[in-house]
Structures are given as C-alpha cells and as structure tokens.
Amino acid sequence: MAAKNTGGGEGQADGGGPNRLIHENSPYLLDHAFNPVAWYPWGDEAFREALRRDCPIFLSIGYSTCHWCHVMAHESFEDPLVASLLNDAFVCIKVDREERPDIDELYMAAALVLSRSGGWPLTIVMTPEKKPFFAATYIPKEDRFAMQGLTTIIPRIVQLWRDARDELIMAAEQVTGSVGREVFPAPPGSPVRIDSSMLDSGYAALRIRYDLLNGGFGSAPKFPSPHIISFLLRYAKRTGKPGALSMAQKTLGAMAMGGIYDHLGSGFHRYSTDARWIVPHFEKMLYDQALLVTAYIEAYQVTGDHWYLNIAEDCLSYLTREMASPEGGFFSAEDADSEGSEGTYYLWSASDLDEVLGKDAPLFARAYNVSRKGNFRERGPDSPSGKNVLYRTSSFEKLAESAGMPEREYREQLAEMRTRLLQVRETRTRPAKDDKILTDWNGLAVSSFSLAAMAFSEESYLETARMAADFLLRTMKKENGELLHRYRNGRAGVQGLGSDYAYLTAGLLDLFEASQEPRYLGAALDIQAWFTRHFADGDEGGFFTSGDGTTDLIARKKDIYDGALPSVNSVTFRNLQRLGLFTSDPGYHEQAWHLARCFAGTVEQSSESYTGFLSALDFALGPSYEIVLSGRREDNKIREMRSAIGRCFLPSKVIIFRPSDADSTPIDRLTGFTGSFPPGDDRAAAWVCKNHACGLPVHDVSPLLASLGKSPGDFGD
C-alpha cells in the first residue's frame, strides 16, 4: 500500500499552509486552497506522484455555485481527520467542471456506468493511469442511514487496493473501455430516415412527458430546458399543430410565474425542486439566462405577445446589471448560498413585508403568495420556516379585479413595492459570484443580445453583444486561431473545448445578422475552420468535445445529448447550415449531412433527448431563406425591413446586407455570391431566396413579408 505523504513543503496541506490549488485561477479551486486535503490540480505532477507512491487517485469534481459541493467541502474536506485519511490513501485532485467540462463529461459517463447515477459533487477513485473503478456523488463524512461515509469508504478502498488490486484494475479497464466506446451510426440493416419523421417522433415523446397541470416535462426536479421550447416552436411553425405551441407557452408562462424566476431582481434560478416551479435551487447561471432569453424572444416572435418580450428584457437587464464584467464579457454564475444557507438572500417572511411595505403588505402578499407559515421548507415538508419564495398563481388582471382597482394602477403599485423590497434585499449579504469568464457561455450571451437587438430594434443590446464578442476575439482567440476557454483576473487560459468553438461561432453569426459588420462573419468562418481541422472526426462524422492536441484524457468523446446545454454537435449542425447559406459553399452542407448521419441512429432511439439536434434538422429540412438587403445603411426603408424581419419567427434564414453607399467588397468576398446581385441605385431593395431559388427584388416591407410566408401574428391569432 502507498506510503504516507509526509511532505511539508510549499503546496503541501500537511505543513499548515495552502495546498497546490493556491496557484490556480478558478474561484472553485481557490476556495479549496487552504483545505487540509493536499489537493493537486489536474496535471502531470499529480499523476507522476500517484505512480511514485503506487496509490489510487481521489478525483473530486464540482463548481463554485454548487450547493452540495459546499456541504461536502465544509463537512469533510475541511475536516483534519478526513483530510488525513485522504492524504494517506490517495493523491487527491480537484477539478472545476466549468473550466474542464471535457474531464467532467468523461468521468460523469464513468459514474453512470459504475453507479447508475451522477451529479455534483462528483467523486471518482481511479488508477494512476486515470482509469476509474469507484464513483459516487455527495458522500457524508460518516455513515448516515443507507449512505456510507468517507470514514468507512476510504479504509475499504485502501484494503481493496492492497488485497484485490487486480480485480479493481480489471473493473477500471472495463469502465474505461465502455466510456471510450461510442457507436453513433444506425445498426446495420436498419437504415435511419433523416427526415421529418424524426421531428414527429420527438414531438410525440415530449407529449408523453409533458406535465399538463404545471407545464414542463417530467416530474421534480424540473429544469428549464429552453432547447425543448425552441424545438416545439419550430415544430408548431412547421406543422401548425396547436399542441406544440400550447406546451411551449404554458411552460414559459409557468416558469415566469413560478419561484424559479426572481420576481424582484429578474433572472432565472437553475431549476425547480418541485413540479410546480415554486421552490428553486437558487443559483443563477449565465447559460440559463442566455438560452431562456432566446426562448422568450422566439415566443414573442411567434405570438406577438409583449409579455414574453418583457421577461426577456428583464433577464437581459439582470445580465447587464449584475453579471457584466468591465472587460466586456459576462461572469459565470451567482451562488445559491449566503450567510451559511441556501436561498437566504431571496426569501421573505410575512413580518419582513410588514416592516418594509407597511399597510401595502397584504396586497403584495396576495400577489406573490406570502404567508405567515411560509412556503419554503428547510428540512423537509413538515418543517415550515416562516420564509417564502415569491411566486405568482394569478394574472395581474384577475388580482386587480379582486382588489377593486384598475389594472394599470395595480401594476404600478406592485412595481413600486418590488422596487422597495429590492432595495432592502440589496442590503443583505449577497451570494458569492463566480467571476470567471467562459468563452462558450459568453458565446450564448452574444447570441441572446444579438437576437434581442434584432427582435426589439434596440441598439443598446447590439452594443452589449459587440462588446462581449470583441472581448472574446481580442482576449480568448490566439493568433493561430485557437480559442482559450477561461479568463479571470487578467489571465486567459485552458485549451479551448468544442463548446467554445460551437457556441462562439453561433454567437458571431447572430451578431453578424444583427450588425451586418462583415468582420463578425469573417471571424465565425475562421473559428469554424480551426474547429474543423482539429475537432472533426473525418471518418465517422461529427465533432469531438476535445481537440486533437489533447493528451491528458483517457478518451475523446463526441457529444450529442442535449442536456442543460445544447450539445456541441447540435449547435454545430445548425452552424454548418448557416455558413453554407451565408457563403454558398456546398462543403458546409456536406459536413452537416455527414454529422446528421453520424448521430441519426442515436437520435432515432430517443429523439426527445436530442431536441437541439431536431431544431437543427428542422433547419436542414427547409424551407430555408437567404435574405439579401441592398441600399444605404442609414436608409429608413432598410431599417424598416430589418426590423420587420427581426420581429418574425424565421429560424431557418440568414440575412445579408450589401451596402450601396460604401465598399461592398468585404461582404462580397466572404459570401461569394452577393457580388452577382445587380447594384442598381441607392433605393432599398430586398431579394428573398427560398431553398436556393431567388425571387425578384422588392422595395417595401409588405411584399418582403409576403415573400417570407409568415408574419409575427400567424400563431398568435
């Protein structure tokens, strides 16, 4: 068995100082830098030390705003007894899953093989060769009911490593082989039809999972899953089936009315712990805001209902107010915990309302379901806390009627009360903020602000998208075209992942459409070119999560499952089609076809789990539109046309502006086809090409919309 680690020099927790995490840049890793556990960051030093000591590796994966990660840290990793057991038995490695999602993805897959469950904190024990043989999530310090504690598990693993190592290594080899073995094409003899029947299957499966009473899909806990909403809106547009639209609308409405939405400060919490969307897990993630903003914008485009617009704008306001960095990007997340417990910052008692609102308190309490007993349970359903999550169950119209007030006056009074409560809330201890900037999540934010700029004709959103994109291109893109993943405290680092390339490419394409600045299309083409060279699977199709220069993983995975985030390959599937339309380069469409064939067999088996892929397939099946606008950039008619297009729900289109009052060479060089359009005069003109066939130019909004087939109110009438 391994010798005891007695090193007491720099980076050794035994010596009373910080461990090796003190040199890291991740807030999550730095939070553990003074643990008595002798943590290593992921890297060669740790693996060499495990080989030298001939001991297993204890790998702990979490992230800064993870509630149970904090619990396990305080309970065990800060405890000298547990730390001593860990240091004696293992080389201990800490990983921030947001910095290295490629590592997390591999070992989460291993956890599902070993224990049939996953989540964070993720606990893995593996050989010095990185091959896992034990997996768990949260583990208490000591035995608790059916859960074994670390003080029991560690000695048992030590014994097995000493007495039954061959069996452990054999198990680890089998798990590693399972994780690295992914066969995506359809089985021989059962050809997959890559057509609209896949969309039908996905919709049918979602109908079965749909919660008719509360909206959303499945039971508790409930996650927002905005890519499901986006698919349903596309399916409704394609088929006209009212069920798809009503499922999307009810879910969006239930979330915005529920406690998962922050009714004072805006923004969505990570998920709901109950089926009714009332009690959230209180952390707020950048990616949730960005993706949900997109879903609410699309719902506005489909229905013309300004309520969706208001939710989207409030979330964008939250991002610019609370999550924007001075450099131009956006921070990653806000924690769920403050003052030692979850949700403290967001909860209200009835007496709190009395103190802040006085005689107005009953009106607010009725609107937001605040009671003396409370609706937040700290230790199970039978332990009322007197604290309340704010949520709504009735429309303001009905509440105003029951209060005997005009609706406008009622809304104004509630808005004033929300402002007063928010001012008081801001005096509380705020949850910690994870202030690292991630390229992939910021790519999503660039998309959401760009889409908002188009849908709402709002220049400030466009400027925010520009600032974020310019920061990423300036700071996170190396001269050779390679991307970096993480930025914090003036330092960019961590080799770029597939999600960085896919999400940033999508964001730049959205920003190009919103700004019509050719440099953003050029940057997207460059990033996609690097991504293809270093991440594409030239044999089977699709794209790997990690690049060909990655040497510290036991396998390179290809990701297609659309979970909390849409998969790298789902986003890339759509990116390739958009690039093909922007440039008229058939090579992009060919890549998209090979990608679809790579994953079609997997998607066919459980299509509702791949709604990001299905949305991209909806694009591929058409009809698709290329819209070329020509004229003077500041011409009011051009602005009217762009605004009208922005308000329409046209998910399978690209927009290109070719200026008549400036040099059109930059855009002609990038697109390869706009130069063939007749220059004409300065009069505003629009050409609509549907499924690669172009019509005659039109010069006003009405014929432009008619040539596009749909207008914002088509599904809302």
Region 330-339: what's the mean pLDDT?
A: 92
Tens digits of per-residue pLDDT, 364-402?
999 999 999 999 876 545 555 789 999 999 999 999 999
Check if the beta carbon of residue 373 is closer than 8 Å to that of residue 386.
yes
Exposed, middle or buried by CB within 10 Å (0-12, 13-18, 19+), for 16? exposed
3-state SS assignment for residue 76: helix
Check if the beta carbon of residue 682 is closer than 8 Å to that of residue 688.
no
Residue 122: closest CA among 104, 141, 143: 104
Q: Residue 571 has which token pair? A: 């986003």
Q: Where are the beta strands (DSSP E) in 615-709?
A: 625-631, 653-659, 685-690, 693-694
Region 642-663: what's the mean pLDDT?
A: 91
CA distances from 518 to 465, 510, 640, 670 (A): 15, 12, 21, 8
What per-residue confidence (pLDDT) applies to 681?
66
| CB-based contacts of 410, cutoff 8 Å, min separation 6 | 396, 399, 400, 403
Region 234-246: what's the mean pLDDT?
A: 96
Q: What is the SS3 string spanning 407-467? A: HHHHHHHHHHHHHHHHHHHCCCCCCCEECCEEHHHHHHHHHHHHHHHHHHCCHHHHHHHHH
Region 561-575: what's the mean pLDDT?
A: 95
What per-residue confidence (pLDDT) applies to 466?
98
Q: Which residue has the higher pLDDT, 535 or 70?
A: 535
Asked if residue 623 has a cis previous peptide bond (ω within 30° of 0), the answer is yes
The separation between the first and the last C-alpha atoms of the chain, rounded to the nearest angstrom, is 73
Check if the beta carbon of residue 375 is closer than 8 Å to that of residue 279.
yes
Asked if residue 121 has a cis previous peptide bond (ω within 30° of 0), the answer is yes
Tens digits of per-residue pLDDT, 282-320?
999 999 999 999 999 999 999 999 999 999 999 999 999
Rounded to an integer, what distance in angstroms lies between the CA atom of residue 703 and that of residue 691? 18
3-state SS assignment for residue 628: strand
Residue 480 has pLDDT above 70, yes or no: yes
Question: Could you give phi then psi for residue 77, rounded to 5 degrees?
Answer: -75, -20
What per-residue confidence (pLDDT) applies to 271?
95
Give percent above pLDDT 90 in the chain.
76
DSSP string, 319-349: IIIIIB-TTSSB--EE-SEETTEETTTT-B-
Check if the beta carbon of residue 537 is closer than 8 Å to that of residue 598.
yes
Q: Residue 363 has which token pair? A: 């009106």
Check if the beta carbon of residue 342 is closer than 8 Å to that of residue 67.
yes
Rounded to an integer, what distance in angstroms lies between the CA atom of residue 127 and that of residue 150? 18
Region 160-166: what's the mean pLDDT?
A: 93
What per-residue confidence (pLDDT) applies to 697?
87
Rounded to an integer, what distance in angstroms lies between the CA atom of residue 185 and that of residue 582? 29
Tens digits of per-residue pLDDT, 118-149?
889 999 999 999 999 999 999 999 988 778 99
Exposed, middle or buried by CB within 10 Å (0-12, 13-18, 19+), for 589? middle
Tens digits of per-residue pLDDT, 461-477?
999 999 999 999 999 99
DSSP string, 157-168: HHHHHHH-HHHH
Check if the beta carbon of residue 433 is closer than 8 Å to that of residue 279.
no
Sign of CA dihedral 171, 172, 177, 178: positive
pTM of the predicted model as reported, rounded to 2 decimal places: 0.90
**One-letter identity of residue 354:** D
Rounded to an integer, what distance in angstroms lies between the CA atom of residue 688 and that of residue 627? 5
Region 448-468: what's the mean pLDDT?
A: 97
Question: Could you give phi then psi for residue 390, rounded to 5 degrees?
Answer: -75, 130
**Enclosing H/E stretch for 468:** helix 459-475
**One-letter identity of residue 449:** F
Region 569-593: what's the mean pLDDT?
A: 95
What per-residue confidence (pLDDT) applies to 235?
98
Q: Residue 419 has which token pair? A: 């402002």
Residue 316: closest CA among 167, 462, 172: 462
Region 82-99: what's the mean pLDDT?
A: 96
Check if the beta carbon of residue 628 is closer than 8 Å to that of residue 704.
no
Pairing of strands 57-62, 685-690: unpaired
Rounded to an integer, what distance in angstroms lies between the CA atom of residue 260 and that of residue 279? 7
Q: Residue 191 has which token pair? A: 């050809």
Q: Residue 198 has which token pair? A: 């896949």
Q: Residue 85 has which token pair? A: 């057991």
Going along the chain from its start, the domains and CATH numbers come out as 13-180 (3.40.30.10), 242-320+335-434 (no CATH), 622-717 (3.40.30)
Rounded to an integer, what distance in angstroms lies between the CA atom of residue 90 and that of residue 92? 6
Helices 568-583/586-605 angle, 10° precision:
150
Alpha helices in 216-322 (DSSP H): 226-239, 242-257, 286-303, 306-318
Tens digits of per-residue pLDDT, 657-694?
988 877 888 898 998 777 777 665 678 899 898 887 88
pLDDT classification of 234: cutoffs 50, 70, 90:
very high
Side-by-side strand order, sheet with 132-136: 40-41, 91-96, 57-62, 122-126, 132-136
Establish how many alpha carbons lie within 13 A of residue 48's alpha carbon, considering only the half-sphere containing its beta carbon. 4
Q: Residue 716 has which token pair? A: 């809302």
Rounded to an integer, what distance in angstroms lies between the CA atom of residue 264 and that of residue 228? 27
Residue 431: closest CA among 500, 316, 345: 345
Output the average pLDDT for the chain.
Answer: 90
Residue 714 has pLDDT above 60, yes or no: no
What per-residue confidence (pLDDT) applies to 182?
56
**Enclosing H/E stretch for 48:** helix 44-53
Pairing of strands 91-96, 57-62: parallel
Residue 10: closest CA among 35, 32, 38, 31: 38
DSSP string, 125-137: EE-TTS-EEEEES
Check if the beta carbon of residue 530 is closer than 8 Å to that of residue 469.
no
Rounded to an integer, what distance in angstroms lies between the CA atom of residue 563 and that of residue 569? 12
**Enclosing H/E stretch for 486:** strand 484-488
Check if the beta carbon of residue 611 is closer than 8 Å to that of residue 561.
no
Residue 712 has pLDDT above 50, yes or no: no
